[in-house]
Amino acid sequence: MSEAEQSGSIIESADVHVCAFPNIDCLLVVDVRNEANPTMRVVRADEIMTPEYYREVEEAFSKILHAQGNGFLKAMALPMALQVVLQDKGMAAIQRLFPGPGKHGDVRISVIIAESALLSMSEEDLLLANEAFFDGKYADDFVAACGKTFAQLAAKERSAVAEKERQELRNIVTGDSNQFFTMWERKSGGES
């Protein structure tokens, strides 16, 4: 039996839980390593994506770019390789903000991105999901504070997504969108 199976699911056994809100550039981070005194913190993206983070990403990506190998295959794999570098360096940056060992050795971090299905949930459903997630393991006031913060950030994210969609529609109507094109266009002063 694996360690994850012995201690519950991988998510349940995580020491630090992160929910990323990409359109409002912040993370909700819940550190449950100290079960008697768990902590919650909203982290701005610029606290993770520091000059050190960018330097580490540039160095790692430079090594990938300059590595030996088949040119075409290597070029085709670059997006995936960059994604792995960004994730690894992002996890390292989170660990720097929340230092210390995990309950089972290395710190285990679970990450969820606030998008689509999660953002379509009502505030009531988000609060119920939050309570179910913590499953009575922590003080009620901590769980309530996490739920309230989670619901507030989800509402801000939902609003930011809706505004981006409205802006894209405005751009489409005014012809400023690069997502769509016109097949026929009347030139000014020309024949129709």
pLDDT per position as a tens digit, 49-96 = 999 999 999 999 999 888 877 778 888 889 999 999 999 999 999 999
Q: Residues for the chain: how many in total?
A: 192
What residue spans define the domains of the chain? 3-48+99-167
Per-residue pLDDT reduced to its tens digit, 34-43: 989 999 999 9
Q: Give the Cα separation of 11 and 42 in Å (integer).
A: 20
- Confidence grade of residue 9 (pLDDT, cut at 50, 70, 90): low
Q: Which residues pair with 28 in a beta bridge?
A: 19, 42
Q: Give the Cα separation of 32 and 41 in Å (integer).
A: 12
